[in-house]
Amino acid sequence: MFSLNQKGDYELQLTRTVKKPGRHVLELYLFTPPETQLSARTIPEPQFFFSSIAHRFGLMGTQTKDRASKSDTSYALLSPHFEIAHGSWLFRYKASMGRLRQQLQTAETIAEPIGRALRLTQSFAQRLRQTQPEQDRQKRYFRQMDIYFSWFAEQFFLKCMTQDGFDELDPELKQSITDFLQNEEAIRKERDYERAFQGSPTTVWNRMSLYSRVLEYPVSPQSKIVELGSGTRRLVKAGSTMVVMSGLTYLLFNARNASQTLSISLLLGIALVYAIRDLLRDDMINIITRWLLHGKPRWKISLLMPYTRKLLAQQLIWLDYRKLSDLPRKVRDHASKSASNDDALVVCYRSLLTPDRAALEQDEFQERLTLDCEALCEMIKVSRYQLFTYNQDIQGDDPSSRVEAHPIEMQQDYNLLLVHTQPGQSHSTAQYWRVRLGSDGIVQLKKREPQWPPPEEQKKRSWWQRH
């Protein structure tokens, strides 16, 4: 299952851990409201893929390999093994803290998630600082990781203090959090980390974001993107030119045989054919190319290991805009309530990930799919409407003083349906959320029941009904 977190004002991030080799199929359907201006003209499909969707992966290591590294410290003498091992530790720690952050938003009581987060953080701090590297390159990497971890943990617990119900927590737990924060402050002074925390909040945030990218580089597979279908487009372009030129040549030879002279009308006719060709060529090429590439992947991504450039996984990507009536039968039958009519636009994103079996024996992957809603929010117009109410509780002789004006914020509801299939399974699993967007970002995020058929019902269906 995927977990959905909101990052900032505009971004939604879906995360899960990939442990099994095989074909991992992920389908994401974004149902747009009828009042949206999203179309292939306002935001073309390639632009939406490169600007609004980010599909990335991170290496988290494996538990068996991690336990072996504790007993064998010879890896610490070499690079990049030191960076890869410590980067995997940090990546796994951040993933665990992300799950606990989500539990804080949904749990009835926040005591258990905060207690687990504190124990996890203390354990990671002890593990990280029990040995000091000796090489200069490793010292620099360790220093950046220690600074970033101290800041990341502090931010997490400071945010916990602003949660509702924190004051009702057990005094011992609150004291433990305070002691941890004071201990981190003492470590920063002792190790001369204070300069990294100086500056404006924006400066500190940007500095820590840079540290995060540097620390995750050894465990972040590098993506090599190849656009598919460019050869088909060139063939269509060449074929259309060949057909038009063949017709012109045939017309010209017949005209020469009939009159033996070139007339003004013939020259105007040839010029008219050229003008029509230039007018319709791009649209004709796009229509024919789209028809030939219908149902085929748009991009192919190779995930390569940093430093060694070893192939870790292959990924095929589909992205197109469809109407509700053009969706697969299983999605149309069980998600028709997400759109008001059959002409509603649906953004369809599909990923087929095939990890290398040997790579999963060494590392587990964390899959992160980020949806940036900023472009969608920019399409929502700022409202100048006001709702007027009459408040009788306001004292005064003038009736107009009791009239209150409330500004109205325009909002739009999007529905997000996620369908994923694990390797070796003939059935799929669905998750469903309703996202409310405003001009300033995400206003509300609610999880809903997708009303997806159970595995037993899916297996009873025929092949045609599944697709």
Taking only the tens of pLDDT, the chain with its 467 residues reads: 888 888 888 999 999 888 888 899 999 999 998 888 888 889 989 999 999 999 999 888 765 555 445 444 544 445 678 888 888 889 889 988 988 888 887 777 888 999 999 999 999 999 888 878 888 888 999 999 999 999 999 999 999 998 888 888 888 999 999 999 999 999 999 999 999 999 999 999 999 999 999 998 888 888 899 988 777 778 888 887 787 778 777 776 776 666 655 567 767 777 777 777 777 777 778 788 778 877 788 999 999 988 778 888 999 999 999 888 888 877 877 665 555 566 678 999 999 999 888 878 777 888 999 999 999 999 888 777 888 888 877 776 677 777 888 888 888 999 999 999 988 888 888 999 999 999 889 998 888 888 788 887 777 765 555 55
Cis peptide before 80 (omega within 30 of 0): yes
Q: Measured between alpha carbons, how far is 44 from 46 in angstroms, rounded to an integer?
A: 6
User: What total of structural domains would you count in the chain?
Assistant: 2
Structure confidence at residue 463 (pLDDT): 52
Structure confidence at residue 122 (pLDDT): 93
Say yes or no: 152 and 261 in one domain: no
Q: Which of 198, 220, 254 is the last residue of a domain?
A: 198
Say yes or no: 104 and 166 in one domain: yes
Say yes or no: 194 and 109 in one domain: yes
Instruction: Kindly state whether residue 151 falls inside one of the protein's structural domains.
Output: yes
Instruction: Kindly state whether residue 417 falls inside one of the protein's structural domains.
Output: no
Instruction: Kindly state whether residue 94 falls inside one of the protein's structural domains.
Output: yes
The residue behind tokens 């945030």 is 205
H-only helix segments in 15-74: 45-52, 63-71
Say yes or no: 87 and 169 in one domain: yes
Q: Which of 241, 270, 292 is the last residue of a domain?
A: 292
Q: Measured between alpha carbons, how far is 343 from 445 in angstroms, rounded to an integer?
A: 25
Q: How many CB atoms lie within 10 A of CB 187?
A: 14
Instruction: Kindly state whether residue 286 falls inside one of the protein's structural domains.
Output: yes
Say yes or no: 86 and 168 in one domain: yes
Say yes or no: 90 and 190 in one domain: yes
Structure confidence at residue 34 (pLDDT): 85
Say yes or no: 187 and 272 in one domain: no
User: Is 86 within 8 Å of 142 (Cβ atoms)?
Assistant: yes
Structure confidence at residue 71 (pLDDT): 45
**CB neighbours of 344 closer than 8 A, spacing ≥ 6?**
31, 32, 33, 34, 323, 324
Say yes or no: 288 and 189 in one domain: no
Instruction: Kindly state whether residue 28 falls inside one of the protein's structural domains.
Output: no
CA atoms within 13 A on the CB side of 235: 9
Instruction: Kindly state whether residue 127 falls inside one of the protein's structural domains.
Output: yes
Say yes or no: 109 and 182 in one domain: yes
Instruction: Give 88-146 as a DSSP string.
Output: HHHHHHHHHHHHHHHHHHH-S-SHHHHHHHHHHHHHHHHHHHS----SHHHHHHHHHHH
User: Is 400 within 8 Å of 392 (Cβ atoms)?
Assistant: no
Instruction: Kindly state whether residue 157 falls inside one of the protein's structural domains.
Output: yes
Say yes or no: 245 and 188 in one domain: no
User: Is 383 within 8 Å of 353 (Cβ atoms)?
Assistant: no
User: Is 212 within 8 Å of 148 (Cβ atoms)?
Assistant: yes
pTM value is 0.79
Say yes or no: 94 and 181 in one domain: yes
Residue 288 lies in domain: 229-292
Instruction: Kindly state whether residue 365 falls inside one of the protein's structural domains.
Output: no
User: Is 303 within 8 Å of 312 (Cβ atoms)?
Assistant: yes
Q: Which of 198, 214, 247 is the last residue of a domain?
A: 198
User: Is 379 within 8 Å of 42 (Cβ atoms)?
Assistant: yes
Say yes or no: 174 and 239 in one domain: no
